[in-house]
Amino acid sequence: MSLRGAFGLAVVVACTTAAPSPARAEPAQQRFGVCGESRWLCCAPGVEPCVRPRAGRTLLLSLGVLAGAGAAGLLFVLGDRLTNGDPATLLVGAGALAGAGAIIGAAAGRLGADRRGHYDRVRPATIGFEHAFGRPPRLDERNPGTMQLRIAPTYRFANGGGRVRLLANFGGWPLAAKVVDPRPQNREPIPGQGGTAPVSLQQRRMVGGVALDFAVWLPYPLLRRSAHLGPAEIRWRPEVQFARERFEPAGEQSRIVERTMLLPLTIGMRWHISPRQRFTFYVGPRFDLIAWSDPGSKDLHRGKAQVGPLYGEAWYDIDVPFTVRPRRDGRMRRADVNGMLTMGYIHSRWDGRGFNFGPVIGFLGPVKVAWGTRVRPRGSKTAVQGGVGATIGNGVTVTLDVGVILPEVYGRKKR
């Protein structure tokens, strides 16, 4: 072989071995699904039709910043009319929640929260029990927690395009709350009280409510030329909340006060940003009814319905399935375990709680953070669910809940 032929053969061999293999040419496509020209537009892997979580969260963060900052600017520049019912305050709270949820969702997405979800995710328990701990007492006072029984049966439409869920709760304080007068400096316990400070007020409370939550899925993609930012639901939730309180001042006759909150036109939307992340928003008018009694009487004087501040809610949910992947030894798992982190803002001071900071007092509602876990034995029609949460507003209240999941009711398909 000539020198020229040997050199050409060496060049051909070197070029052939240095060429990248087709399997390693597009690692981003294999890991993140079809991305198109930009990794920012990646579709969630294993999900059809396409859903782009990163683009959806970026849009949600932008809308939250614009709504929150714009509303806050209007409040400080134009004034808030000196009322806590200004709609701009709802945009501030909901915008802050949307922005925080998008940021936390992006961090969770980097850890795998943008993959295919589990069908048996955490939802309201069919029959549950909730206990909210009271604030720590001072001196000889008593702040009992609130215990409530909750039910949430679900009926799903035959065509699979929606469902309706009954939400009901009933409970109250198991013991009377006590407020004492610390001014008398008694050394000996007062007979019948077990403390040195005389009781100035005793209060009892009973609460309840009922709502119907309707949800209808919208077609996805809604338009032929869609950005594929995730499916959405339209919601309507008429609701009634009730509270009855009995005040017993020391040395005076007791009085009864009843409060009723009517929410007949609360509409909302749920945006499925990714298979495991959702943003939900509710808004609607509020009407308040107040009734009271004369001292020592059980007969109530009922007032007329009054238009209250605009009611609203914003929630961001992140699913955390624990049993999606198979076991290392190849055996079938005995149960499906799924968790959910939820963050919410409720634009209502119905229970007297609200998020205050600096000079902003009495305008924003409470913030809620909760974690729930559902365990369903493999092949079982029932499951158990429990969780822990915190309500931030005029302090922090810790809540514990446990419940049972019963089979849902499905409508019959038309023949």
Please say if the pLDDT value at position 357 is more than 90.
no
Q: CA distances (Å), 241 to each of 66, 267, 349, 384, in order? A: 32, 17, 12, 27
pLDDT at position 135:
81
Looking at residue 374, what is its pLDDT? Answer: 96
pLDDT of residue 19 exceeding 60, the answer is no
Backbone angles phi, psi at 77, to 5 degrees: -85, -50
At 192 the pLDDT is 66
Largest CA distance in the chain: 120
Whether residue 29 is predicted with pLDDT greater than 60 in this model: the reply is: no
**How far apart (Å, rounded) are the C-alpha atoms in residues 261 and 384?**
32
What's the pLDDT band for 204 if we cut at 50, 70, 90?
very high
Task: Convert the pLDDT of each residue in 141-192 to its tens digit.
Answer: 888 989 999 999 999 998 778 999 999 999 999 999 988 887 776 767 776 6
Q: For the ranges 39-53, 60-74, 239-253, 398-412, which has the lowest average pLDDT? A: 39-53
Least confident of 111-120, 316-325, 326-335, 356-365: 356-365
Per-residue pLDDT of 61-85, as tens digits, reads 999 998 888 877 776 666 544 455 5
What pTM, to 2 d.p., does this model score?
Answer: 0.83
214, 164 Cβ separation under 8 angstroms: yes
Higher pLDDT, 382 or 26: 382
Beta strand pairing status for 396-405 and 199-217? unpaired
Collect all residues with Cβ–Cβ distance below 8 Å to 258 and sequence separation of at least 6.
242, 243, 244, 245, 289, 290, 291, 292, 300
Torsion of CA 411, 241, 101, 372, to 10 degrees: -70
pLDDT band at 20 (very low <50, low <70, confident <90, very high): very low
Banded pLDDT at 25 (limits 50, 70, 90): very low
Residue 8 has pLDDT above 90, yes or no: no
- The whole-chain average pLDDT of the chain stands at 83
The SS3 assignment for 318 reads strand
> Domains (ranges, CATH) in the chain?
30-184+193-324+332-409 (2.40.128.130)
pLDDT at 78: 60
The SS3 assignment for 199 reads strand
411: pLDDT strictly greater than 90? no
The DSSP-derived string for 129-184 is EEEEPPPPP-TT-B-PPEEEEEE--EEE-TTSSEEEEEEEEEEE-SS-EEEE---S
- Write out the two tokens for 397: 């209240």
- Average pLDDT, stretch 121-147? 89
The more confidently predicted of residues 338 and 142 is 338
Query: Residue 163 in contact with residue 184, Cβ under 8 Å?
Result: no
d(CA 10, CA 169): 81
What integer pLDDT is reported at residue 297 of this predicted model?
Answer: 87
**Pairing mode of beta strands 277-284, 127-132:** unpaired
- 10-24, 50-64, 103-117, 195-209: which range is least confident on average? 10-24
Residue 316 confidence (pLDDT) above 80: yes
Predicted confidence at residue 18, as pLDDT, reads 38
User: CA torsion sign, 69 to 74 to 75 to 80?
Assistant: negative
Residues whose CB falls within 8 Å of the CB of residue 291, separated by 6 or more in sequence, listed in order: 257, 258, 259, 260, 300, 301, 302, 303
Q: What is the pLDDT of residue 6?
A: 46
Supply the pLDDT for residue 79.
54
Q: What is the pLDDT of residue 76?
A: 67
Question: 85-94, 245-254, 332-341 — which is least confidently predicted?
Answer: 85-94
- Residue-level pLDDT at 77: 65
**Neighbour tally for 114: CB within 10 Å:** 29
Contact (CB, 8 A) for 181 and 127: no
Q: Which of 18-22, 235-239, 306-310, 322-326 has the lowest mean pLDDT?
A: 18-22
**What mean pLDDT is predicted for residues 50-71?**
88
Q: Which band of pLDDT confidence, cut at 50, 70 and 90, is reported for residue 343?
A: very high
- What's the Cα-to-Cα distance from 185 to each of 139, 272, 293, rounded to whole Å? 12, 60, 35
Q: What is the pLDDT of residue 373?
A: 96
Candidates 20, 23, 19, 48; CA nearest to 34 is 48
Per the structure block, which two tokens stand in for 144? 């009992």
